[in-house]
Amino acid sequence: MKLTPSLAHFVWRCTPLQGATPVDRQSRIRGVSRMGLRRVQLAVVFAALIAGCAQPARETAPVAAPAAHQLPKDFPADTYARAAAQGRPVYRIDPAASLVSITVRRSGSLARLGHDHIVASHATQGAIAPEEGRADLYVALDTLAVDEPALRAEAGLDTQPTEADIAGTRANMLDKVLQTQQFPFAQIHVSGLARTSTGVRLNVAITLHGVTRSFEIPAQMTTGRDALSVAGALEFNQSDFGIQPFSILGGAIQVQDRLSLRFSIRAHSVDSQASLVPGKLS
Protein backbone atom coordinates (compact mmCIF):
# COMPACT_ATOMS: atom_id res chain seq x y z
CA MET A 1 0.00 0.00 0.00
CA LYS A 2 1.27 3.49 -0.84
CA LEU A 3 2.43 5.56 2.13
CA THR A 4 0.81 8.89 2.81
CA PRO A 5 3.22 11.87 2.57
CA SER A 6 3.35 12.32 6.36
CA LEU A 7 3.97 8.63 7.00
CA ALA A 8 6.58 8.46 4.24
CA HIS A 9 8.35 11.43 5.83
CA PHE A 10 8.29 9.64 9.20
CA VAL A 11 9.77 6.52 7.60
CA TRP A 12 12.49 8.48 5.86
CA ARG A 13 13.46 10.37 9.03
CA CYS A 14 13.39 7.37 11.37
CA THR A 15 14.98 4.64 9.23
CA PRO A 16 18.82 4.53 9.36
CA LEU A 17 19.71 4.28 5.66
CA GLN A 18 23.13 5.88 5.61
CA GLY A 19 25.61 3.42 4.16
CA ALA A 20 22.96 0.88 3.25
CA THR A 21 22.80 -0.73 -0.16
CA PRO A 22 19.82 0.09 -2.44
CA VAL A 23 18.33 -3.35 -1.70
CA ASP A 24 18.69 -2.79 2.06
CA ARG A 25 17.07 0.61 1.76
CA GLN A 26 14.03 -0.75 -0.04
CA SER A 27 13.71 -3.65 2.42
CA ARG A 28 13.86 -1.37 5.45
CA ILE A 29 11.34 1.07 4.00
CA ARG A 30 8.94 -1.78 3.24
CA GLY A 31 9.33 -3.10 6.81
CA VAL A 32 8.64 0.28 8.39
CA SER A 33 5.79 0.78 5.91
CA ARG A 34 4.12 -2.41 7.17
CA MET A 35 4.72 -1.36 10.78
CA GLY A 36 3.30 2.09 10.10
CA LEU A 37 0.30 0.63 8.33
CA ARG A 38 -0.49 -1.57 11.33
CA ARG A 39 -0.29 1.50 13.55
CA VAL A 40 -2.61 3.40 11.25
CA GLN A 41 -5.09 0.52 11.22
CA LEU A 42 -5.02 0.34 15.02
CA ALA A 43 -5.53 4.09 15.20
CA VAL A 44 -8.56 3.77 12.94
CA VAL A 45 -10.05 1.15 15.27
CA PHE A 46 -9.64 3.36 18.32
CA ALA A 47 -10.89 6.41 16.46
CA ALA A 48 -14.02 4.48 15.54
CA LEU A 49 -14.44 3.41 19.17
CA ILE A 50 -14.18 6.99 20.32
CA ALA A 51 -16.68 8.10 17.69
CA GLY A 52 -19.08 5.31 18.58
CA CYS A 53 -18.96 5.32 22.36
CA ALA A 54 -17.63 8.65 23.54
CA GLN A 55 -18.82 11.51 21.39
CA PRO A 56 -18.12 14.84 23.08
CA ALA A 57 -21.14 16.17 24.91
CA ARG A 58 -20.92 19.46 23.00
CA GLU A 59 -21.79 17.65 19.76
CA THR A 60 -24.99 16.11 21.12
CA ALA A 61 -26.86 18.26 23.60
CA PRO A 62 -28.57 16.31 26.39
CA VAL A 63 -32.31 15.91 26.02
CA ALA A 64 -34.22 17.90 28.61
CA ALA A 65 -36.06 15.85 31.21
CA PRO A 66 -39.85 15.91 30.77
CA ALA A 67 -42.06 17.98 33.01
CA ALA A 68 -43.40 16.16 36.05
CA HIS A 69 -46.96 16.13 34.65
CA GLN A 70 -46.00 14.90 31.17
CA LEU A 71 -47.51 11.56 30.17
CA PRO A 72 -48.43 9.76 26.94
CA LYS A 73 -51.47 11.20 25.19
CA ASP A 74 -53.25 7.84 25.27
CA PHE A 75 -52.59 7.06 28.93
CA PRO A 76 -56.00 5.94 30.33
CA ALA A 77 -55.99 7.98 33.54
CA ASP A 78 -59.80 8.29 33.43
CA THR A 79 -60.19 4.50 33.51
CA TYR A 80 -58.32 4.25 36.79
CA ALA A 81 -59.99 7.35 38.22
CA ARG A 82 -63.41 5.79 37.62
CA ALA A 83 -62.33 2.52 39.23
CA ALA A 84 -61.07 4.38 42.30
CA ALA A 85 -64.28 6.44 42.47
CA GLN A 86 -66.27 3.18 42.48
CA GLY A 87 -64.30 1.94 45.46
CA ARG A 88 -62.25 -0.63 43.58
CA PRO A 89 -58.58 -0.96 44.54
CA VAL A 90 -56.25 1.14 42.42
CA TYR A 91 -52.52 1.52 42.96
CA ARG A 92 -50.21 4.16 41.60
CA ILE A 93 -46.57 3.35 40.74
CA ASP A 94 -43.98 4.76 43.11
CA PRO A 95 -41.06 5.71 40.81
CA ALA A 96 -38.59 6.18 43.65
CA ALA A 97 -39.21 2.63 44.89
CA SER A 98 -39.30 1.01 41.43
CA LEU A 99 -36.54 -0.04 39.06
CA VAL A 100 -36.45 -1.27 35.48
CA SER A 101 -33.00 -2.27 34.20
CA ILE A 102 -31.81 -3.58 30.84
CA THR A 103 -28.47 -5.31 30.32
CA VAL A 104 -26.95 -4.62 26.90
CA ARG A 105 -24.19 -6.99 25.79
CA ARG A 106 -21.45 -6.38 23.22
CA SER A 107 -20.49 -8.73 20.41
CA GLY A 108 -18.37 -8.88 17.27
CA SER A 109 -14.80 -9.92 16.53
CA LEU A 110 -13.45 -6.86 18.41
CA ALA A 111 -15.96 -7.02 21.27
CA ARG A 112 -13.09 -7.06 23.78
CA LEU A 113 -12.45 -3.41 22.93
CA GLY A 114 -15.98 -2.37 23.90
CA HIS A 115 -18.14 -2.50 27.01
CA ASP A 116 -21.35 -4.13 28.16
CA HIS A 117 -23.84 -1.59 29.49
CA ILE A 118 -26.76 -1.40 31.85
CA VAL A 119 -29.61 1.03 31.21
CA ALA A 120 -32.01 1.86 34.04
CA SER A 121 -35.23 3.71 34.73
CA HIS A 122 -35.94 5.19 38.14
CA ALA A 123 -38.91 7.10 36.74
CA THR A 124 -41.49 4.46 35.84
CA GLN A 125 -45.01 5.88 36.14
CA GLY A 126 -48.49 4.40 35.88
CA ALA A 127 -51.34 2.66 37.64
CA ILE A 128 -52.52 -0.85 38.51
CA ALA A 129 -56.06 -2.16 39.00
CA PRO A 130 -55.43 -5.71 40.31
CA GLU A 131 -59.08 -6.84 40.42
CA GLU A 132 -59.33 -6.16 36.68
CA GLY A 133 -55.91 -7.69 36.03
CA ARG A 134 -54.97 -4.42 34.39
CA ALA A 135 -52.00 -2.09 34.55
CA ASP A 136 -50.67 0.75 32.41
CA LEU A 137 -47.11 1.93 32.88
CA TYR A 138 -44.80 4.22 30.96
CA VAL A 139 -41.22 5.46 30.98
CA ALA A 140 -40.10 8.79 29.55
CA LEU A 141 -37.03 7.55 27.67
CA ASP A 142 -35.03 10.72 28.15
CA THR A 143 -34.95 9.97 31.89
CA LEU A 144 -32.98 6.75 31.37
CA ALA A 145 -29.67 6.39 33.19
CA VAL A 146 -26.66 4.51 31.81
CA ASP A 147 -24.00 2.51 33.65
CA GLU A 148 -24.65 3.47 37.25
CA PRO A 149 -21.76 1.89 39.21
CA ALA A 150 -23.96 0.05 41.72
CA LEU A 151 -26.06 -1.51 38.96
CA ARG A 152 -22.97 -2.48 36.95
CA ALA A 153 -21.55 -4.22 40.01
CA GLU A 154 -24.85 -5.98 40.70
CA ALA A 155 -25.02 -7.18 37.09
CA GLY A 156 -21.44 -8.49 37.26
CA LEU A 157 -20.19 -6.40 34.33
CA ASP A 158 -16.43 -6.85 34.09
CA THR A 159 -15.29 -3.56 32.57
CA GLN A 160 -15.63 0.06 33.65
CA PRO A 161 -16.35 2.67 30.98
CA THR A 162 -15.13 6.22 31.51
CA GLU A 163 -17.48 9.13 32.12
CA ALA A 164 -16.94 10.17 28.51
CA ASP A 165 -17.85 6.66 27.33
CA ILE A 166 -21.04 6.74 29.39
CA ALA A 167 -22.05 10.19 28.14
CA GLY A 168 -21.42 9.15 24.54
CA THR A 169 -23.30 5.87 24.96
CA ARG A 170 -26.32 7.66 26.42
CA ALA A 171 -26.32 10.31 23.69
CA ASN A 172 -26.13 7.67 20.94
CA MET A 173 -28.85 5.59 22.60
CA LEU A 174 -31.33 8.45 22.93
CA ASP A 175 -30.68 10.06 19.57
CA LYS A 176 -29.65 7.37 17.10
CA VAL A 177 -31.14 4.19 18.58
CA LEU A 178 -34.31 5.07 20.48
CA GLN A 179 -34.96 8.31 18.54
CA THR A 180 -36.62 9.87 21.56
CA GLN A 181 -37.58 13.07 19.78
CA GLN A 182 -40.00 10.99 17.69
CA PHE A 183 -40.76 8.22 20.22
CA PRO A 184 -40.49 9.77 23.70
CA PHE A 185 -42.07 6.95 25.72
CA ALA A 186 -41.95 3.23 26.28
CA GLN A 187 -45.40 1.99 27.31
CA ILE A 188 -46.46 -1.24 29.01
CA HIS A 189 -50.05 -2.46 29.10
CA VAL A 190 -51.06 -5.47 31.20
CA SER A 191 -54.38 -6.93 30.04
CA GLY A 192 -54.67 -9.92 32.35
CA LEU A 193 -52.92 -12.22 34.76
CA ALA A 194 -53.16 -15.86 35.70
CA ARG A 195 -52.14 -17.40 38.99
CA THR A 196 -49.50 -20.11 38.76
CA SER A 197 -47.87 -22.44 41.27
CA THR A 198 -44.90 -20.08 41.50
CA GLY A 199 -46.53 -16.66 41.14
CA VAL A 200 -48.43 -15.04 38.30
CA ARG A 201 -48.22 -14.91 34.53
CA LEU A 202 -48.84 -11.49 33.01
CA ASN A 203 -50.24 -10.79 29.55
CA VAL A 204 -48.20 -7.77 28.52
CA ALA A 205 -48.06 -5.52 25.46
CA ILE A 206 -44.95 -3.34 25.18
CA THR A 207 -44.89 -0.35 22.84
CA LEU A 208 -41.43 0.95 21.95
CA HIS A 209 -40.16 2.91 18.96
CA GLY A 210 -43.72 2.99 17.58
CA VAL A 211 -44.05 -0.82 17.55
CA THR A 212 -46.15 -2.98 19.91
CA ARG A 213 -45.25 -6.56 20.80
CA SER A 214 -47.01 -9.01 23.13
CA PHE A 215 -45.38 -11.18 25.81
CA GLU A 216 -46.34 -13.59 28.56
CA ILE A 217 -44.15 -12.79 31.55
CA PRO A 218 -43.80 -14.88 34.72
CA ALA A 219 -43.64 -12.66 37.78
CA GLN A 220 -43.91 -12.51 41.54
CA MET A 221 -46.69 -10.29 42.91
CA THR A 222 -47.50 -9.31 46.47
CA THR A 223 -50.64 -7.34 47.26
CA GLY A 224 -51.46 -5.64 50.54
CA ARG A 225 -54.02 -3.14 51.68
CA ASP A 226 -51.85 -0.13 50.98
CA ALA A 227 -49.11 -1.41 48.69
CA LEU A 228 -48.47 -3.76 45.80
CA SER A 229 -45.20 -5.07 44.41
CA VAL A 230 -44.42 -7.07 41.30
CA ALA A 231 -41.07 -8.31 40.01
CA GLY A 232 -39.94 -10.34 37.03
CA ALA A 233 -37.71 -10.55 33.98
CA LEU A 234 -37.87 -11.09 30.24
CA GLU A 235 -35.65 -11.14 27.17
CA PHE A 236 -36.45 -9.64 23.80
CA ASN A 237 -34.80 -8.51 20.57
CA GLN A 238 -34.33 -4.85 19.72
CA SER A 239 -35.06 -5.66 16.09
CA ASP A 240 -38.57 -6.85 17.07
CA PHE A 241 -39.32 -3.17 17.70
CA GLY A 242 -37.75 -1.91 14.49
CA ILE A 243 -34.55 -0.85 16.27
CA GLN A 244 -31.23 -1.44 14.54
CA PRO A 245 -28.60 -2.50 17.10
CA PHE A 246 -25.66 -0.09 17.18
CA SER A 247 -22.68 -1.28 15.13
CA ILE A 248 -19.34 0.09 13.92
CA LEU A 249 -16.41 -1.20 11.84
CA GLY A 250 -18.65 -3.37 9.71
CA GLY A 251 -19.98 -5.21 12.77
CA ALA A 252 -16.59 -5.88 14.37
CA ILE A 253 -17.93 -4.02 17.41
CA GLN A 254 -21.68 -4.12 17.90
CA VAL A 255 -24.49 -4.39 20.39
CA GLN A 256 -26.20 -7.76 20.67
CA ASP A 257 -29.77 -7.78 19.41
CA ARG A 258 -30.95 -9.72 22.47
CA LEU A 259 -31.60 -7.67 25.61
CA SER A 260 -32.24 -8.79 29.19
CA LEU A 261 -34.78 -6.77 31.18
CA ARG A 262 -35.52 -6.99 34.89
CA PHE A 263 -38.18 -5.06 36.76
CA SER A 264 -39.16 -4.44 40.35
CA ILE A 265 -42.27 -2.29 40.64
CA ARG A 266 -43.81 -0.96 43.82
CA ALA A 267 -47.13 0.85 43.94
CA HIS A 268 -49.28 2.45 46.64
CA SER A 269 -53.05 2.51 46.89
CA VAL A 270 -54.92 5.70 46.02
CA ASP A 271 -58.26 6.93 47.29
CA SER A 272 -61.22 8.04 45.23
CA GLN A 273 -60.08 11.68 45.24
CA ALA A 274 -56.49 11.08 44.20
CA SER A 275 -55.18 12.09 40.80
CA LEU A 276 -53.19 9.62 38.73
CA VAL A 277 -51.35 12.42 36.94
CA PRO A 278 -47.70 12.46 38.15
CA GLY A 279 -47.03 15.11 40.75
CA LYS A 280 -50.70 15.45 41.74
CA LEU A 281 -51.27 12.37 43.86
CA SER A 282 -52.94 13.33 47.13
Question: Is the distance from CB of 168 to CB of 155 less than 8 angstroms?
Answer: no
Count structural domains, the chain: 2
Domain annotation covers residue 234: yes
| Angstrom distances, CA of residue 162 to CA of 48, 117, 230 | 16, 12, 34
Using one digit for the tens of pLDDT, what is the confidence trace for 23-48? 555 555 455 445 454 444 444 444 44
Using one digit for the tens of pLDDT, what is the confidence trace for 215-225? 999 999 998 88
Q: Do 93 and 141 share a structural domain?
A: yes
Domain annotation covers residue 54: no
Overall pTM > 0.95: no
Look at residue 123 and tell me whether its pLDDT is greater than 90.
yes
Q: Do 29 and 72 share a structural domain?
A: no
Using one digit for the tens of pLDDT, what is the confidence trace for 149-163? 999 999 999 888 899
Mark out the alpha helices in the chain (DSSP H runs): 5-14, 22-53, 77-85, 149-155, 163-172
Label residue 137 by pLDDT band (50, 70, 90). very high
Label residue 5 by pLDDT band (50, 70, 90). very low
Mean pLDDT of the chain: 79
Label residue 185 by pLDDT band (50, 70, 90). very high
Domain annotation covers residue 18: yes
Buried b or exposed e, range 182-202, using 16+ CB within 10 angstroms: ebbbbbbbbeebeeeeebbbb
Using one digit for the tens of pLDDT, what is the confidence trace for 49-58? 434 444 443 3
Q: Do 73 and 37 share a structural domain?
A: no
Domain ranges, residue 10: 5-46
> Which parts of the chain are beta strand (E)?
91-93, 99-107, 117-121, 125-129, 134-140, 145-146, 185-195, 200-208, 211-223, 227-237, 247-248, 253-269
Q: Do 38 and 96 share a structural domain?
A: no
Residue 274 is predicted with a pLDDT of 59
Among candidates 94, 124, 93, 98, which has minimal Cα distance to 264?
A: 98
Domain annotation covers residue 91: yes
Look at residue 76 and tell me whether its pLDDT is greater than 60.
yes
